Amino acid sequence: MDSLSILRDYVEGRMSHPEWLDWWALHSGDVEAQLGRFAFLKIKKRGFSGALSILEEAGVQLVPASGFCNSCGEPLFKAVPGVTTAEEIRAFASLSKIGEADEIVESGWIHPGEYCPNGCTIVLHSYRRA
Ligand SMILES: [Zn+2]
């Protein structure tokens, strides 16, 4: 089993975040054995971003998937008008550490954009009216 090729599957979006978490839970020891303690800690602390920087340092050519926080590596929540439901917004806000989470849970509304559940990244989208 080659840890780098699994990291690449994750970073390029061929492996979902839940699949990655399952894999990491079982194989983080293999990663440490194959790639070293530093790589292990990087992935442990920064998740997706850590895996991406290890691949880049190893000189692997890749096209990273979008939708992950650059800081902590968590998948970003996307709020899209007319697509994202109030229930999805409430579920996200109740589990996240973003500001004003209580108000968002109450109203079921969030400004359109992408949000890191840890509150490190927020990208607000503005939609032009036709
Ligand atoms: Zn984050």
pTM of the predicted protein model:
0.83
| pLDDT, tens digit (0-9, with 9 covering 90-100), for 78-118 | 999 999 999 999 999 999 999 899 999 999 999 999 999 99
Ligand 1 mean position, distance from CA 32 (Å):
24
Ligand 1 mean position, distance from CA 54 (Å):
18
Ligand 1 is an ion; its neighbours by CB within 5 Å are 69, 71-72, 116, 118, 120
Q: Write the DSSP string, 72-111.
A: T-PBPEEE-TTTS-HHHHHHHHHHS--TTHHHHHHH----
Nearest C-alpha neighbor of 66 from the set 82, 48, 51, 79: 48
Domain limits, the chain: 3-57, 77-124
Ligand 1 mean position, distance from CA 24 (Å):
19
> What is the C-alpha separation between 49 and 75, in angstroms, rounded?
10
| pLDDT, tens digit (0-9, with 9 covering 90-100), for 27-54 | 999 999 999 999 999 999 999 999 999 9
